[in-house]
Amino acid sequence: MMPNMVTIGDVSVDADDPCALYQALYAAKVKLLAGERIEETEIRSPVTSRRIKIAVSNMAALDAELMRLSSACSAAQTGRRARYAKRMRFS
């Protein structure tokens, strides 16, 4: 069977390997946090001129996918899935 290759950033990884996908997406997240995908634009009016910088990302979706891939990678390596328990505290 041929690997299903995808490109994330500048790295080609097998889309069926959760561990490789996790590493590539984590590297992409670090680059986003470092500000590599910041776009700059200028808004002009007859009176003023303003430059703004915009970071394009969806961190919540990226974090959710990283959690899913981490669990899948753990299951692939150990043969069982990782458990995540929610904790609550009453005060």
Hey, what are 61's tokens? Answer: 């979706």
Average the pLDDT over 4-18 and give the result. Answer: 83
Record the pTM. Answer: 0.59
Average the pLDDT over 35-53 and give the result. Answer: 74
pLDDT tens digits, one per residue of 59-91: 788 888 888 888 888 888 877 655 555 666 776
Measured in Å, how far apart are the chain's first and last C-alpha atoms?
A: 55
Beta strands in the chain (DSSP E): 5-8, 11-14, 38-44, 49-55
Q: Is the pLDDT of residue 18 over 80?
A: yes
H-only helix segments in 2-58: 18-34
Rounded to an integer, what is the distance from CA 6 to the centroid of its chain? 14
Beta partners for residue 52, in sequence order: 41
The pLDDT assigned to 47 comes to 79
